[in-house]
Every structure is written in C-alpha cells, then in structure tokens.
C-alpha cells in the first residue's frame, strides 16, 4: 500500500482558505490557521498527543471524471479531482484511547464537459490501519462538497474523527490512510491516468 505525504498547493490555499484547517471537533489547532496570539492562548490550554502517521493512498488520490456516455478525451472531461494534503491532530480520550481528528484538502478542476456543474461532492474514506499486519481497525466515510460557482476550480477541507485504541499499543503502531471512495471502474481509470503521466 503506497502512502504519500503530499504538501498543500497554493491553488488550494487560495480556493479553500486555510488548508491546515482548524480542527474544531477536538479544539485542536494545526499550524497556519491562527494568529500568533490565538495560537499561544490555545497552546496554553491544550496538550497534543502523539498521532499515527497520516498519508494519502497514492492509487486513490486523484481521478478524472468524464461526461456521461462520453469517450475519454480532453473535451469530454467533466472534472478532475485530487487529494492534495492531509493532516491529523490527536487528543487523549477515555478508555486508553486517543481521538484523531483528520483534515483532508481536496482540489477540483472543472473540465469542458462540466460547464453546468456548480457543486461537486467528493466521497472520501479515512481508515485506521494496524501497521504490523495491515488490519483495518476503523473506516469512516466523509464527503467534501466543493463549490465551484463561476470559478474553473475550487477546493475544500473535509474532516473525520477516529478513535485510536492504545491498550498495549502506541500511536506509531497504526497509520491513518486517506483515499477517494472509488468504484472498481473509477479505480481503473485513476490507475490509467497515473500511468499516463
């Protein structure tokens, strides 16, 4: 399973605002979203816990979607989408666990066959996997609704919350994997697209 750790791109930062988003669910702040004064005040109140490594599943991190019934080609592209970056922050929870709050930056670009699209819903999966044997511990579906309006491209940050069990284990014994939720046909298209780069 190839996991990548892509960095946020300027185009998404301009479209979606702060890509290293504030994780409101746990009151955790990731760098880049607050003023120094805000950050200092929150840091004084919050103790961050170690987190599992988080990364994007390379084979399911981008996709080109074509118009319905159209043959694949530049003019028949409805839109392309890409998972640009993901980050996580963890906080202690009851029962020898930590709660991992995961933020995923999604970028969408409209194609010639998608002129009428104004909102594109991007289904994602955030999974907690045990590193030693790749056992799936938890799988959380989440949807990013990317609003395009009159713009050619746009971005959004989606959030997911997972519970990481630590009884006899450490956060480093797990990994958080983020991927597009693809059908077998879409996965085949994504793999062809990657091979053609």
Burial of 32 (0-12, 13-18, 19+ CB in 10 A): middle
pLDDT at 24: 33
For the sheet with 119-130, list strands across it.
Answer: 3-4, 53-57, 174-180, 119-130, 136-147
* Whole-number pLDDT of residue 48: 60
DSSP state of 50: P
- Contact indicator for 186, 63 with CB cutoff of 8 Å: yes
Give the Cα separation of 107 and 153 in Å (integer).
Answer: 7
Q: Reply yes or no on whether the pLDDT at 50 is more than 80.
A: yes
pLDDT of residue 38: 47
Mean pLDDT (the chain) is 78
pLDDT of residue 55: 96
Tens-digit pLDDT profile for residues 74-100: 899 999 999 999 999 999 888 889 999
Asked if 138 and 163 touch (Cβ cutoff 8 Å), the reply is yes
Instruction: Give the Cα separation of 185 and 191 in Å (integer).
Output: 10
Q: pLDDT per residue over 140-188, tens digit each? A: 999 999 998 788 899 999 999 999 999 889 999 999 999 999 888 887 8
Residue 11's H or E segment, with its range, is helix 10-16
Residue 57 has what pLDDT? 93
Residue 33 pLDDT more than 50? no
Q: Is the pLDDT of residue 54 over 90?
A: yes
Asked whether the predicted pLDDT for residue 45 surpasses 60, the reply is no
Q: What is the pLDDT of residue 134?
A: 92
pLDDT at 36 over 70: no
- Is the pLDDT assigned to residue 51 strictly greater than 60? yes
Domain ranges of the chain: 3-195
- Chain length of the chain: 197
* CB-based contact 127:96 (threshold 8 Å): no
Query: Exposed/middle/buried for 11, CB within 10 Å: 0-12, 13-18, 19+?
Result: middle
Between CA 166 and CA 109 the distance in angstroms is: 40
Flag whether pLDDT at 22 surpasses 60.
no
The most confident of the ranges 1-5, 42-46, 186-190 is 186-190
* Distance (Å, whole) CA 164 – CA 158: 19
Q: How far apart are CA 137 and CA 10, in angstroms?
A: 34
């Amino acid at each position: 399973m190839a996991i990548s750790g892509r960095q946020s791109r300027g185009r998404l930062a301009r479209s979606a605002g702060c890509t290293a988003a504030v994780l409101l669910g746990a009151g955790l702040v990731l760098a880049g979203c607050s003023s120094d004064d805000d950050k200092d005040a929150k840091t004084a109140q919050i103790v961050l816990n170690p987190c599992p490594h988080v990364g994007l599943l390379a084979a399911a991190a981008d996709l080109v979607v074509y118009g319905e019934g159209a043959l694949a080609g530049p003019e028949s592209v409805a839109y392309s989408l890409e998972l640009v970056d993901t980050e996580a922050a963890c906080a202690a929870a009851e029962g020898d666990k930590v709660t991992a709050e995961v933020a995923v930056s999604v970028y969408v670009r409209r194609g010639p066959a998608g002129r009428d699209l104004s909102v594109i819903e991007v289904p994602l999966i955030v999974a907690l996997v045990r590193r030693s044997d790749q056992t799936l511990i938890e799988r959380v579906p989440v949807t990013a609704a990317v609003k395009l309006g009159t713009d050619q491209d746009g971005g959004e940050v989606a959030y997911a919350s997972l519970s990481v069990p630590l009884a006899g284990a450490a956060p480093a014994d797990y990994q958080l994997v983020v991927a597009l939720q693809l059908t077998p046909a879409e996965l085949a298209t994504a793999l062809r697209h990657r091979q053609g780069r």
